[in-house]
Amino acid sequence: MASPPTFTADIYIYISLSLHRAPEAHGAGWSKIWDAGKSDLWDRGQASPALVDIVEKHQRPGELFHPFAADGRRKRVLVPGCGRGYDVVMLALHGFDAYGLDISATGVAAAEAFASKELQNPSAANFGPNHDNKEFQSPGNVKFLEGNFFASEWENEAGGEFDLVYDYTFLCALHPTMRKNWAARMASLLDKDGLLTCLEFPMYKDRTLPGPPWGLNGALERRATDMLSVYQRK
């Protein structure tokens, strides 16, 4: 199993993001890091093992990660800050129509290149021991979008709300002052019966220390009310 990311060069990322930039403009810093060929600072080279595990344990009809809605359509899943798109491809291989969003054009091109190879010949890392149900072996579609999670210009191309959003090392990549907006965006992008799934990292890091990654311990609980207030307006 892959070890969790360490962000050994987090100082490099911190400098690239923060120099002369307000938190709302950190996206340009991420693009700069991609363009400098430094995505290996966070890239683990495969889908999240914990996501594979939870999806495969709850894929039967009526369960949370069943890839089909009651009307028979494939469920739509978004992975914001998808990087090279490992989780996007894995979710498509488990039956979802999967969308990856990244602010970096270089990142999106890398994700498209990865997906076109991986969907032809998926590696074992996409599956776990519970992947024994043939019903789900017809993959959904994969689409990568270049755009800013906090802006809406990419939404038309994505075609509507999502049944599932998966966040892995995206929330921790955002400045803590962006978390309220993150919660509001998540709530507005999800269908009213949608499911937000977050693999939180890092939980151990003091929240007052600089990032990224910024410490996340307790962040989701604190943002739950922001999400609810958007849901109530739906």
Ligand X SMILES: C[S@@+](CC[C@H](N)C(=O)[O-])C[C@H]1O[C@@H](n2cnc3c(N)ncnc32)[C@H](O)[C@@H]1O
Binding stretches for ligand X (CB under 6 A)? 27, 30, 34, 42-43, 80-84, 101-104, 107, 148-150, 168-170, 173
Which of 27/140 has CB closer to ligand X? 27
- Written as six digits, the tokens of 37 are 């060929």
The answer to whether the beta carbons of residues 90 and 56 sit under 8 Å apart is: no
Closest to 124 measured CA to CA, from 76, 90, 84, 80: 90
Per-position DSSP letters for 80-113, written without gaps between them = ET-TT-HHHHHHHHTT-EEEEEES-HHHHHHHHH
Min separation Cβ 18 and ligand X, Å: 13
Min separation Cβ 208 and ligand X, Å: 20
Min separation Cβ 111 and ligand X, Å: 9
Enter the DSSP assignment of 85: -
Which of 127/144 has CB closer to ligand X? 144
Which of 136/214 has CB closer to ligand X? 214
134 phi, psi to nearest 5 deg: -60, -25
Which of 26/66 has CB closer to ligand X? 26
What distance in Å separates the CA atoms of residue 234 and residue 229, rounded to the nearest whole number? 9
Min separation Cβ 62 and ligand X, Å: 29
Which of 66/212 has CB closer to ligand X? 212
For the chain, the first-to-last Cα distance in angstroms comes to 40
* Conformation bin of residue 208: beta by default, left when phi > 0, alpha when psi is -120 to 50: alpha
Min separation Cβ 65 and ligand X, Å: 19
Which of 68/150 has CB closer to ligand X? 150
What distance in Å separates the CA atoms of residue 124 and residue 56, rounded to the nearest whole number? 14
Residue with tokens 């309220």: 180
- Count of positions (residues) in the chain: 234
Min separation Cβ 3 and ligand X, Å: 13
What distance in Å separates the CA atoms of residue 209 and residue 202, rounded to the nearest whole number? 12
